Each structure stands twice: as C-alpha cells, then as structure tokens.
Amino acid sequence: MIRPFVPQDLEQILNIWLETNLQAHPFVPASYWRGQLEGVGQALPQAEVYVWEEEGRVLGFLGLVEDYIAGIFVRPGCQSAGVGKQLLDRAKEVREQLTLHVYRKNTRAAAFYRREGFSPLSEQTDPATGEEELEMVWREGPLC
C-alpha cells in the first residue's frame, strides 16, 4: 500500500536509503553514503515522501522536492517486484512533469527510467562524487 510518510518511518527509510545506495553504487565509496546519512535524515521530513508499506514494514519510498524526484529506493530483496514502478506511478499522478538525476554507471536504474518514459535532458558530473550523471525528464501527455 502506498501512503504518505510519517515520522515513525524514518529509521526504516534511512536503512533502505543506505542499503540501496551501497548496493546500486559500488563505484562510489561507501564512506560517502554513510557520511550523507544524517543530512538525508534531516531533509526527508521536508520533502513530499510516499512510502510503500506491507504489514507494517516499509519496502520502499519515493521522495519529491517540487517536480524533482530526489530518489526512489526499494529494499534489497524486494526490487523488481513492481514497488518502484508503483511509487513512480504515484508521482506521475501528482505531477505533470518530473526530473531526476541518475548515475550513468547505474545502468539498471537508467534503463528503468527510460522504460517508464523518461528521456535524457543533459549530462554532467556530480561534483560530490566525480561521477557522470544524466538528468532525465518525464512529461505527462505528448512531448510536442
């Protein structure tokens, strides 16, 4: 079930955030992700966050800051089961346009976003990690 974030979700969400980033980004030092954890914990309650919950357990979440997807994170072991797609579909219901950044080396995530209708908009280097990333966009309705 998808529902809005509540403060009691924070610990589970932070664990998913860290585990998923470590798994999906082995090309970024683990110390980088661990060093970001406190800041993410402070920023999450300020964002519009949707949570996928089953039987009291958070399986994934999506964070929005205006039209920007700050991230979609699904608990390892629950990935490729439709949780991320349904969270993304919820974001598409509440926005006419969405943008996001994805590391070029995270080919699995980039392919997922392409399948879901996102198109590359620009390329840049993430100054925090030195890794190349794509900015991608999705727009509701026809592009022309």
Domain boundaries, the chain: 2-139
Q: What is the pLDDT of residues 106-144, one digit of tens each?
A: 999 999 999 999 999 999 999 999 999 999 999 987 555
Q: What is the pLDDT of residues 64-81, one digit of tens each?
A: 999 999 999 999 888 888
Q: Which long-range contacts (CB under 8 A, 24 or more apart) does 13-21 make?
A: 13/44, 13/49, 13/51, 13/58, 13/61, 13/73, 14/40, 14/41, 14/44, 16/58, 16/60, 16/61, 16/73, 16/74, 16/75, 17/71, 17/73, 19/75, 19/76, 20/73, 20/74, 20/75, 20/76, 21/73
| CATH class held by domain 2-139 | alpha beta
How much is the pTM? 0.92
Residue of higher predicted confidence among 140 and 104:
104
